[in-house]
């Protein structure tokens, strides 16, 4: 028996148009739901700590890929009965399992042909900036004069925009024409020259309906304080978001003035469950970062409902998403358990005592 190995340098990728077609077909084959390409000059005005050229100075192209969050993974949250699926299958699982497979396989395919490729997903835990773009002191230091402080973090929503895959909505969420806000984004940096796609110019997705703002359980958006940026010559504006508040709210917590006897989040003594969480304590993370108890109630679910109602998404469904009135939990009243609930300490079903 002979050793089996991959073929190297057997595809001519010297023509950027043909190379782009090859790379896109491979990305779809490996599991992307949509793929677009941005030329590196579109990042010319990127801040130092977010500049891809700081990672790969010879980078010529960035390949952007969308991975849909299944609408079904939001179903259990919408019904209020099954919260873990979004955090696992729709969030951490895509980020830490599915997407890495695709971006790694695509990078290997490019490297087989003699071009360097860096696979990237949401794995930015080592980044040298905080959620608001500031560099924390005493975290890391530049290794050469003129270089950024490790690690660089490429803004993935902006990358998807610069790869022509869609818009950035008023919620700052990336909106694709296929799935609206239901996307995770992966990218590959490469020194292979690929024909870029135009910046998205399709049907307008965000119409400033404000559903994301009104339905955010933490009221994390400040519509009177918008952020305006110029991305490759295109003006983009979104509502400022209090990321620290979102960070607490999306885990299902609300902060209190006084420490709680049994705090909702172990690491925050002054936390209790909000009306958007049915859990007495925050459940443990799934796939490292999956802890989205709020289920993106405003920025994803409400936005998706709004976009679907307007009929602007390509991934349309036979039945509307919201079929029952939205629920909230009243933590000031005792729980009412349903028939069939069985407590070990009672050894009696609720149905038996009725």
Task: Report the interface residues with ligand SF4, using CB under 6 A.
Answer: 169-171, 173, 206-212, 216-218, 220, 246, 249-250, 294, 296-299, 302-303, 306-307
Q: Report yes or no: 264 and 282 within 8 Å, Cβ to Cβ.
A: yes
Is the CB of residue 282 less than 8 Å from the CB of residue 293?
yes
Compare residues 129 and 296 and give the one whose CB is closer to ligand SF4: 296
Residue number with CB closer to ligand SF4 (234 or 349): 234
CB atoms within 10 A of CB 71: 18
Cis peptide before 151, with omega less than 30 degrees from 0?
yes
Nearest by Cα to 80 from 305, 252, 333 = 252
Shortest reach from residue 211's CB to ligand SF4, in Å: 4
For residue 265, give the DSSP letter.
Answer: B
Give min distance, CB of 214 to ligand SF4, in A: 9
Residue 10 vs 132, nearer CB to ligand SF4: 132
Q: What is the DSSP letter of 89?
A: I
State phi, psi for 270 to the nearest 5 degrees. Answer: -100, 50
Report the distance separating Cα 173 and Cα 212, nearest Å.
Answer: 10
Shortest distance, position 260 Cβ to ligand SF4, whole Å? 20
Residue 220 Cβ, how far from ligand SF4 at the closest point, in Å? 5
Report the C-alpha gap between 19 and 33 in whole angstroms.
Answer: 19
Nearer to ligand SF4, 61 or 183 (CB): 183
* Closest to ligand SF4 by CB, 197 or 242: 242
Q: Which structure tokens are listed for 61?
A: 């192209």
Contact status, residue 19 vs residue 196, Cβ threshold 8 Å: no
Count of other CB atoms within 10 angstroms of residue 144:
6
- Find the shortest distance in angstroms from Cβ 181 to ligand SF4: 7
For the CB of residue 287, give the shortest distance to ligand SF4 in the complex, in Å: 17
Closest contact distance (angstroms) between CB of 21 and ligand SF4 is 32
Closest by Cα among 257, 309, 265, 263 to 285: 265
Nearer to ligand SF4, 38 or 218 (CB): 218
Q: Whose Cβ is closer to ligand SF4: residue 83's or residue 115's?
A: 83
Q: Which is nearer to ligand SF4, 229 or 342 (CB)?
A: 229
Q: Identify whether the C-beta of residue 114 lies closer than 8 Å to the C-beta of residue 8.
A: yes
Kindly report the length of the chain. Answer: 354
Contact 315, 176 (CB under 8 A): no
221: which residues sit within 8 A by CB, 6+ positions away?
A: 171, 212, 213, 239, 240, 241, 242, 298
Q: By Cβ distance, which residue is nearest to ligand SF4? A: 169
* Residue 215 Cβ vs ligand SF4, minimum distance, rounded to whole Å: 7
- ∠ CA 317-184-117, nearest 5°, is 135
C-beta of 115 vs 250, nearer to ligand SF4: 250
- Output the smallest distance, CB 212 to ligand SF4, in A: 3
Reduced to 3 states, what is the DSSP secondary structure of residue 18? helix
């Amino acid at each position: 028996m002979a050793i089996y190995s991959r073929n190297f340098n057997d595809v001519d990728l010297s023509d950027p148009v043909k190379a782009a077609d090859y790379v896109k077909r491979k990305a779809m084959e490996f599991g992307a739901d949509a793929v677009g390409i941005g030329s590196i000059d579109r990042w010319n005005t990127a801040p130092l700590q977010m500049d891809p050229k700081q990672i790969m100075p010879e980078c010529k192209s960035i390949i952007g890929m969308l991975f849909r969050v299944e609408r079904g993974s939001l179903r259990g949250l919408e019904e209020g009965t099954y919260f873990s699926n979004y955090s696992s299958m729709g969030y951490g699982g895509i980020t830490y399992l599915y997407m890495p497979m695709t971006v790694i396989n695509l990078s290997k395919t490019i490297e087989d042909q003699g071009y360097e490729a860096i696979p990237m997903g949401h794995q930015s835990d080592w980044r040298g900036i905080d959620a608001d773009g500031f560099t924390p002191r005493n975290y890391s230091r530049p290794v050469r004069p003129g270089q950024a402080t490790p690690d660089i973090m490429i803004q993935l929503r902006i990358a998807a925009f610069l790869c022509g895959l869609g818009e950035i909505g008023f919620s700052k969420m990336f909106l694709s024409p296929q799935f609206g806000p239901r996307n995770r984004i992966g990218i590959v940096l490469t020194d292979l020259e690929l024909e870029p796609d135009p910046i998205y110019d399709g049907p307008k997705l965000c119409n400033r309906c404000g559903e994301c703002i009104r339905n955010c359980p933490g009221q994390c958006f400040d519509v009177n304080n918008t952020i305006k940026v110029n991305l490759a010559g295109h003006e983009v504006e979104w509502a400022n978001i209090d990321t620290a508040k979102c960070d607490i709210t999306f885990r299902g917590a609300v902060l209190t003035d006084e420490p709680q006897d049994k705090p909702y989040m172990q690491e925050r003594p002054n936390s209790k469950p909000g009306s958007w969480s049915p859990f007495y304590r925050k459940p443990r993370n799934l796939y490292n970062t999956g802890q989205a108890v709020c289920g993106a109630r405003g920025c994803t679910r409400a936005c998706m409902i709004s976009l679907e109602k307007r009929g602007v998404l390509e991934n349309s469904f036979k039945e509307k998403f919201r079929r029952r009135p939205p629920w909230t939990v009243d933590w000031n009243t005792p729980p009412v358990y349903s028939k069939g609930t069985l407590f070990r300490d009672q050894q009696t079903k609720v149905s038996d005592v009725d």
